[in-house]
């Protein structure tokens, strides 16, 4: 009897210990883990293709100095990206691994960005996370970084240098998905205005390629203007307002970024909004939710920088990753958009809403992001 009682006590004690373990240490149900952010390297670092090679580096002892090399800074996405990099570096998940975060933005001058990277190499950073101003101009400086034992992870506007690890969404598919939805809402005919990003960057080129592949299949679709909005609402509003002043007939708008500015230009001109395909700015999705236009919103998350930082930290610790990492496209249509899920009524219109990437451990709060001051 005493032995049975002892076993019973031990059983209860072990059961209590199991219940006290983190959810990830148990055979938890999906419902129990749905709200938690669980870092899953396999799900986070998906290879872009089945034949994507892997890469690894000799493990180093941390904490590490991480450089963020950014080119263009004149829009809300780039500002929020830097805010997210800074906020993410201060999260418990990576704080102890990062000794210093060195953030340098150089504008549209390619040579200035290359010089800034050379300064980072001279400083002895452990990794450089790069949003490049040109896809082809960085081969030599990336090779110099690689020769110095520095991990280079290129994201968003990617590069051709074979030494760089790539983190990106499928930008051709991005442009294609937007165009397909727009053409459907236009019944395959009419005048389209394209509001593009920063000319010469890989993202702008690839998105345009995807969109024009779709538009070219419809002889009754005519691209009446290609405006350079530079992915910013201010510039996009100005170029669209100038074009609307010529009183064209517009049946659809395809806009890479700066959607809130485009919407405002139509309102100021007293012109009804046609179907639109745009990015994931809060104001663009709010207008969709309010029924101001019909369309689709496809997102490029500024949190891509945090995923790139995670990739750099994994590689610095000797872990093997795919050379080319693909992130999914977060998207929503006017039929499915929901307040509090896809857009936030109390946040600025230029805030990019896809900010949480649970499988990569990215779970930043909007307040934490907006609290970061970017000079």
Any idea what the Cα angle at residue 257 is, between residues 251 and 258, rounded to 5°? 85
Residues 6+ apart with CB under 8 A from 367: none
Q: Locate all alpha helices (DSSP H) within the chain, ordered by sequence.
A: 2-20, 30-33, 41-44, 76-89, 110-123, 139-147, 171-185, 202-215, 233-244, 259-269, 282-289, 304-316, 366-370
57: its two tokens: 């580096």
pTM reported for the whole predicted model: 0.84
**pLDDT the model gives residue 7:** 37
Residues 6+ apart with CB under 8 A from 280: 297, 298, 299, 300, 301, 330, 352, 353, 354
Contact status, residue 109 vs residue 85, Cβ threshold 8 Å: no
For the chain, domain boundaries: 44-168+301-327+355-370, 171-298
Contact status, residue 276 vs residue 298, Cβ threshold 8 Å: no
**pLDDT the model gives residue 226:** 98
What is the rounded distance in angstroms from the CA atom of residue 340 to the CA atom of residue 362? 18
Contact status, residue 140 vs residue 115, Cβ threshold 8 Å: no
**pLDDT the model gives residue 358:** 87
Kindly indicate whether the domain formed by 44-168+301-327+355-370 is annotated with CATH number 3.30.460.80: no
What does each of the 375 residues of the chain score in pLDDT, given as a tens digit? Answer: 333 443 343 333 333 333 333 322 222 222 223 334 578 999 999 999 999 999 999 999 999 999 999 998 888 999 999 999 999 999 999 999 999 999 999 999 999 999 999 999 999 999 999 999 999 999 999 999 999 999 999 999 999 999 999 999 999 999 999 999 999 999 999 999 999 999 999 999 999 999 999 999 999 999 999 999 999 999 999 999 999 999 999 999 999 999 999 999 999 999 999 999 999 999 999 999 999 999 999 999 999 999 999 999 999 999 999 999 999 899 999 999 999 999 999 999 999 999 999 889 999 999 999 999 997
171-298 has the same fold as 44-168+301-327+355-370: yes
Any idea which architecture 171-298 has in CATH? 3-Layer(aba) Sandwich (3.40)
What is the rounded distance in angstroms from the CA atom of residue 110 to the CA atom of residue 366? 31
Burial of 242: CB neighbours in 10 Å, binned 0-12, 13-18, 19+: exposed
């Amino acid at each position: 009897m005493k032995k049975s009682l002892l076993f019973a006590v031990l059983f209860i004690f072990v059961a209590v210990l199991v219940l006290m373990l983190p959810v990830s240490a148990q055979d938890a149900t999906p419902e129990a883990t749905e709200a938690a952010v669980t870092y899953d390297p396999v799900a986070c670092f998906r290879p872009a293709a089945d034949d994507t090679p892997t890469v690894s580096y000799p493990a180093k002892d941390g904490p590490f100095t991480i450089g963020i090399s950014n080119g263009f800074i004149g829009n809300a996405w780039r500002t929020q990206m830097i805010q997210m990099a800074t906020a993410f570096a201060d999260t418990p998940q990576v704080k102890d691994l990062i000794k210093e975060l060195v953030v340098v933005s150089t504008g549209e001058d390619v040579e200035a960005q290359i010089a800034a990277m050379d300064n980072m190499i001279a400083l002895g950073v452990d990794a450089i996370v790069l949003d490049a101003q040109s896809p082809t101009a960085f081969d030599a400086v990336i090779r110099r970084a690689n020769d110095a034992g520095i991990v280079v992870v290129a994201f968003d506007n990617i590069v051709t240098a074979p030494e760089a690890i790539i983190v990106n969404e499928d930008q051709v598919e991005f442009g294609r998905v937007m165009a397909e939805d727009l053409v459907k809402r236009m019944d395959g005919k009419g005048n389209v205005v394209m509001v593009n990003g920063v000319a010469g960057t890989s993202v702008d080129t690839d998105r345009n390629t995807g969109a024009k592949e779709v538009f070219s299949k419809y002889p009754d679709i005519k691209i009446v203007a290609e405006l350079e909005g530079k992915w910013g609402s201010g510039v996009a509003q100005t170029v669209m307002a100038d074009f609307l002043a010529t009183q064209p007939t517009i049946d659809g708008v395809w806009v890479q970024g700066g959607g809130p500015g485009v919407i405002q230009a139509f309102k100021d001109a007293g012109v009804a909004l046609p179907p639109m395909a745009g990015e994931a700015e809060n104001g663009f999705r709010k207008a969709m939710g309010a029924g101001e236009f019909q369309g689709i919103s496809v997102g490029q998350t500024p949190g891509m920088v945090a995923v790139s930082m995670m990739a750099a930290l994994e590689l610095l610790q000797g872990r093997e990753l795919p050379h080319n990492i693909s992130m999914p496209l977060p998207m929503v249509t006017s039929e499915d958009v929901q307040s509090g899920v896809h857009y936030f009524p109390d946040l600025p219109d230029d805030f990019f809403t896809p900010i949480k990437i649970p499988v990569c451990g990215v779970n930043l709060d909007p307040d934490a992001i907006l609290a970061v001051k970017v000079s």
